Amino acid sequence: MIEQVRIENLGVIAAAELDLAPTFTVITGETGAGKTMVLTSLALLLGGKADPALVRRGAERAVVEGTFAVAPAGPAATRAEEAGAAVEDGELIVARTVPAAGRSRAHLGGRTVPHAVLGEIGEQLVTVHGQSEQLRLRAPAQQRAALDAFGGEDHAALLAAYRTAWATAVAAREELAAWEEAAGVREQEIAQLRAGLARIEELDPQPGEDHALREEAGRLGNVEELREAAGRAYQGLTGGDDVTGPGAVDATTLIEDARRSLEQGADDDAALGGWAERLAEASYLVSDVATEIASYLSGLDADPQRLAWVNERRAVLAELTRVHGPDVDGALAWAERARERLAYLDGPEDTAEKLRSRVADAEEGLARAAAALTDSRRAVGERLATAVDEELAGLAMAGAHLSARLTPLEEPGPSGAEAVELLLAAHPGAPARPLGQGASGGELSRVMLAIEVALAAVPGGEPESRTFVFDEVDAGVGGKAAVEVGRRLARLAQGAQVVVVTHLAQVAAFADRHLVVSKHTPGSGDAITATDVTSVDGEDRLRELARMLSGQEESETALRHAAELLERATVQR
């Protein structure tokens, strides 16, 4: 909803601040006072076209700023955050600057944005009805959404089931089409998979074989270097036959001498005994290593034939892994996936037949869901027409009739198998015509009010608080009908924010907040007329209602009538 609107240098308004009630706010004032500029300011905040002629004479620019309350996780806040705007404590600041010369600027939550973004935000928050511009239900898609919203939870469940069935059918059709269109590519893929698997089966690589062969090739190609390194180690550990130099001592002997020396002193200090035990373990370990080295040396023989075979095998495996994986294990994993893919492409079951069967089942399910949704929409349309007709009867449009026309589509779409269009017969005997045709702006505003009141009675409502702005809703009505207009606006305001520009005291009396637009013309001929917007209450409000009733705000009769209107409005709300 809109919490506040600040206006500077817009038309006849030099500066004004409008604090709107969260429920029902009415804006009144004499003709020509500048009420239109208030509506124009809202239009600018909602992304409307900016005209430099709107700038107050003598000013460089006009500025309109609005504070909107938005649900933190609602669609408006989400879209604003996508645009880079800041939403703080559930408040979104929207601003529009219109220079006297040049292009206008739009700001959203502290960020400059295209004015179209303001329009997207506004669609989520504000509905404008007036001046023959019925934004909410202008398009057939919006009319369909309104009818679906009136259907309640049971209808919503049918709509959700239809959308699921439609998505399932579309996915099944696309999968079958892709299968059929890719027949040639599929045959080529089958041939490639089979060739790759045949090569892998022919080579029969074992897990980790390439890594093992690399180690073996390194060993066979460096026999002499390895024998020398292992021989020196063996000599150092055991003092074997090849130990060079007189008096050379091996590691085993040194460790054993150290152990015995520690054991001799262990009787006097237990710490030495612990070290002796550890050296005994070291002696066993050195002996084991020496034994393994001896075994390694005995089997370390040059084998040119084996080396040649290993290198040849490695080359073959390298060629395989270049095509099917980083190493042999990767190639074996590819083979497993290839077998699964072949089973799908060329398995024993006819995949195409399965896909066709799936499409048939999905189409059958879609047809059932579409029929159920169509039947429900027809019934909901009749209920909506009855509810709106009842509202119209109290809005000086007795005999007017709303109807919902369902036109089958050539192909079911994501929202149903038919187009939905709301038609209006403005009076008995008149042909039913699409909304907006064959009705005046005032009549159309009242039709929209009747529809909004009917929709507001449905549990669930809008995903976040919505603002309704009505202009001309009182055109062509008066007396009892005007009271009924006011009562319905008050009823709508029980679940939404309502802002109304009106000339009728009967309507204004139902408001929770009353704003008056008044102009002041200085005596000097060169001075610019200024407009103020003030909130009135108590005696000031009575005088404004009296002015609206008789044109004489000080008339005792008019004041009594105004007081009676306020009292009745309070009782009838």
Q: Which residue is it, tokens 């189409």? A: 363
Q: What is the mean pLDDT of the segment spanning 515-522?
A: 80
Neighbours of 156 (CB within 10 A): 14
Is the distance from CB of 528 to CB of 58 less than 8 angstroms?
Answer: yes
Q: Is residue 513 part of a domain?
A: no
Q: What is the mean pLDDT of the segment spanning 414-440?
A: 86
pTM assigned to the model: 0.65
C-alpha angle 346/340/169, rounded to 5°?
Answer: 70
Distance between CA atoms of residues 439 and 443, nearest Å:
6
> What is the structure's pLDDT at 448?
85
Distance between CA atoms of residues 210 and 227, nearest Å:
24
Residue 518 in this model has a pLDDT that exceeds 90: no
Q: Is residue 3 part of a domain?
A: no
Three-class SS of 431-472:
CCEECCCCCCHHHHHHHHHHHHHHHHCCCCCCCCCCEEEEEC
Lowest mean pLDDT among 13-17, 93-97, 247-251, 328-332: 247-251
Neighbours of 404 (CB within 10 A): 21
Query: pLDDT class for 245, splitting at 50, 70, 90?
Result: very low
Distance between CA atoms of residues 568 and 482, nearest Å:
13
Q: Which residue is it, tokens 């108590």? A: 538
Q: Is residue 279 part of a domain?
A: yes
Element (H, E) at 238: helix 223-238
* Average pLDDT, rounded, for the chain: 86
Distance between CA atoms of residues 138 and 226, nearest Å:
89
> What is the structure's pLDDT at 369?
97
Domain count, the chain: 1
Determine the 3-state secondary structure of 92 from DSSP: strand
Q: Which residues of 207-234 are buried (b: 16+ CB within 10 A; e: fewer)?
A: eebbeebeebbeebeeeeebeeebbebb
Q: Is residue 254 part of a domain?
A: yes
Q: What is the mean pLDDT of the segment spanning 289-313?
A: 80
Nearest 5°: phi and psi at 201?
-65, -35
Domain that holds residue 224: 209-326
Q: E strands along 285-435, which residues?
A: 401-413, 416-425, 433-434
C-alpha distances (whole Å) from 505 to each of 30, 438, 479 are 12, 28, 10
Alpha carbon of residue 168 to chain centroid? 21
Residue 201, Cβ density class (10 Å: 0-12 exposed, 13-18 middle, ≥19 buried)? exposed
Q: pLDDT tens digits for 125-168?
A: 888 886 545 556 767 888 899 999 999 999 999 999 999 999 99
Distance between CA atoms of residues 237 and 297, nearest Å:
14
Nearest to 117 by CA among 72, 84, 154: 84
Q: Is residue 313 part of a domain?
A: yes
C-alpha angle 385/390/394, rounded to 5°?
Answer: 140
Distance between CA atoms of residues 227 and 213, nearest Å:
20
| Contacts of 193 by beta carbon, 8 Å cutoff, 6+ apart | 338, 341, 342, 345
Nearest to 238 by CA among 227, 230, 229, 249: 249
Distance between CA atoms of residues 56 and 14, nearest Å:
7
Q: pLDDT tens digits for 497-509?
A: 999 999 999 999 9
Show the tokens assigned to 379: 């019934």
| DSSP category for residue 114 | -
> What is the structure's pLDDT at 436?
67
Q: Is residue 402 part of a domain?
A: no
Distance between CA atoms of residues 95 and 175, nearest Å:
48
Distance between CA atoms of residues 255 and 286, nearest Å:
9
Determine the 3-state secondary structure of 522 from DSSP: coil
Q: Is residue 131 part of a domain?
A: no
Alpha carbon of residue 258 to chain centroid? 78
Give the whole-number percent of the chain exceeding pLDDT 70: 91
Neighbours of 130 (CB within 10 A): 21
Q: pLDDT tens digits for 435-460?
A: 867 667 677 778 888 888 898 888 76
Q: Is residue 311 part of a domain?
A: yes
Lowest mean pLDDT among 250-254, 255-259, 389-393, 441-445: 441-445
Give the whole-number percent of the chain exceeding pLDDT 90: 39
